[in-house]
A and B are shown apart, each in its own frame.
Chain A
């Protein structure tokens, strides 16, 4: 696996966690 695809993978993981934190907080609110 090349280093650039590793970087892309790491970015995807990071994006997923940050988005999950945001949408998780939105979901916990139940309604918006």
Chain B
């Protein structure tokens, strides 16, 4: 055995090139979650009502207690709807093709705020409370805006196609979430990181399909075989691993992930180019591979 000179990656004269393709950046393509402090404050502002309701309980005033507790509950529900609506809006804005959120949460939240303020003020102010309710609702709309109401697509693509793309990507995103949740159960940071990187690559394909949905059918087959296979395998492995750690199973699973990594990196580009026959073969091979390992149902 020949002696090897001591040295590392950053030693002088060491080659900087890493073997193989450079790994993708861990957070590429993911936007940081934005937290709206004002929307969070909406959870805090109704607090005095709760204390007022407690006071009403102490004095034995049931009607007052009910109004105040009701108003508090309404405002808290409104705050929750508002925060949820802001999240849905962020998800809508992150995509090139998207359907509007199914419930206009921010609008409902504003109506609920107005209603709750009216209900709390009514016993003291009578109908004058309606003015406060109205102003509160309108102020909330002005402060946080309205929900996105229109489906957004790409110019030149009809609504039907845009809808199909949005639906397919919704489904695939659901699979990715399941995979990540399953990976978290395995309790192995290294494996989890690899799976997350695979999911990031899948997300890159989603964004590409959104930009140019012509290849939706092709991309869908690949993504659903690939993502479904990864999900089934991950969930199954997480279950097995929770019961008993088996080196054999783990090795098999890691080999599968390795295969998926190579095939996905190699064919991500084919997927987006017009290289169909190669891709079809690849999908078949992948499907057989998954079946042989017994990791997905036959």
A6 and B51 CA atoms in complex are apart in Å by 31
A17 and B121 CA atoms in complex are apart in Å by 10
Contact of A24 (CB < 8 Å), options: B47, B51, B121, B140: B121
Contact of A13 (CB < 8 Å), options: B45, B56, B139: B139
B55–A32 CB distance below 8 A: yes
A11 and B38 CA atoms in complex are apart in Å by 8
B117–A31 CB distance below 8 A: no
A13–B135 CB distance below 8 A: yes
* Cβ contacts under 8 Å, A14 to chain B: 113, 136, 139-140, 143
Contact size class for A? 20 to 34
Closest chain B residue to A7, Cβ basis: B143
- Known interface pairs A11-B143, A14-B143, A17-B132. Does A26 touch B75 (Cβ–Cβ under 8 Å)? no
B48–A19 CB distance below 8 A: yes
A25–B139 CB distance below 8 A: no
B135–A29 CB distance below 8 A: no
A10 and B142 CA atoms in complex are apart in Å by 6
Instruction: Give the one of A14, A20, A21, A23 with max B CB within 10 A.
Output: A21
A29 and B71 CA atoms in complex are apart in Å by 16
A3 and B71 CA atoms in complex are apart in Å by 30
- Known interface pairs A17-B135, A21-B71, A21-B132. Does A26 touch B143 (Cβ–Cβ under 8 Å)? no
A17–B136 CB distance below 8 A: yes
B41 within 8 A of A: yes
B52–A32 CB distance below 8 A: yes
A10 and B57 CA atoms in complex are apart in Å by 33
A22–B41 CB distance below 8 A: no
B230 within 8 A of A: no
Contact of B121 (CB < 8 Å), options: A7, A19, A21: A21
B48–A26 CB distance below 8 A: yes
A23 and B124 CA atoms in complex are apart in Å by 13
Interface residues, chain B, CB within 8 Å of chain A? 38, 41-42, 45-49, 51-56, 58-59, 64, 67-68, 71, 75, 113, 117, 120-121, 124, 132, 135-136, 138-145
A and B contact pairs by CB, cutoff 8 A, 20 listed: A7-B145, A8-B143, A10-B140, A10-B141, A10-B142, A10-B143, A17-B117, A17-B132, A18-B75, A18-B113, A20-B132, A22-B48, A22-B51, A22-B52, A25-B49, A25-B71, A26-B48, A28-B64, A28-B124, A31-B55
Interface residues, chain A, CB within 8 Å of chain B? 6-8, 10-11, 13-15, 17-26, 28-29, 31-32
